[in-house]
Structure 1
Amino acid sequence: MNIYLSMILAAALAVFGGASAMSETNQPQHSQGQTAGSYQLVQPPYSEALQPVYKQVREAGGYQVVHADEQTYVVIGLGQRPTGGYSLQVDKVEQSADGTWQVYVHESKPAPGSMTTQVLTYPTVVVSLQKADAQAKVVFTS
């Protein structure tokens, strides 16, 4: 195949393949799988109760606690990022002595000079606590 045609096809795949990243979540990586203790990382599709909160947190960043479906959900987002390669990592989830759950997260950034998709991304994660009326807060670490 002609080298120029190969380059054009590769560029088209990068553009069209990366376009879907705007609507997808950068899912966190967790060394212990998707569950640990009494929390779980929730994958899309989200319930109707979570969708408006997810959309708001995804775009604006920050976090919100939602009590729905007999569980407590913590929706955490970083807001808009300029390229691919950003993600939100859940480090640990623990319950303090007063019963409040603390979700420790940090932003993972692409290495300087690394190749990334040139598309806006919105790193977001949803954590489910197995208690319907849990109180939770998020601690952003570095």
Structure 2
Amino acid sequence: MLRFDPFHDIDTVARQLLGEATGSARAPRFMPMDLFKTGDHYVLNADLPGVDPHSVEVSVDNGTLTLRAQRTAPSEEGVQWIASERFAGTYMRQLSLGENVDVDKISATYNNGVLSVTIPIAARAKPRRIEITGESQPKKIKAQSS
């Protein structure tokens, strides 16, 4: 008798989308992040616990923001693993930026395992009030019959 598991295929696809490499339970899956807007800028916070700060890279190229980091695994020599759930390897996340951000003023910090990227909104994209000019006294218009 064959058993039908409708969730098996969904689970397999989900694992592939999250980056789990076949045969490697220690490969990085994803870089969880929060993205929000506050005032005149966006803030992106990405969790990267245990990552060497010197391996963290933030770059912008052709409207794409790329976050990259590396966590090295401890030496495997002479080790008998009991549990191995912490991921090692390269983490990467890419986001498309809109035209309304100031890419020249993007800044980043890395503290306590959290990468924070500040993405300012460009001055041209900020709402502004348009001053209306004209005569101080309205003109009277006379209607003409034809």
- Structure with higher Rg: it is 2
Structure number having the greater helix percentage? 1
Structure ranking higher on relative contact order (CA contacts 8 Å, 6+ apart): 1
TM more than 0.5 = no
Normalising by structure 2, report the TM-score.
0.30
So what's the TM-score if we normalise by structure 1?
0.30
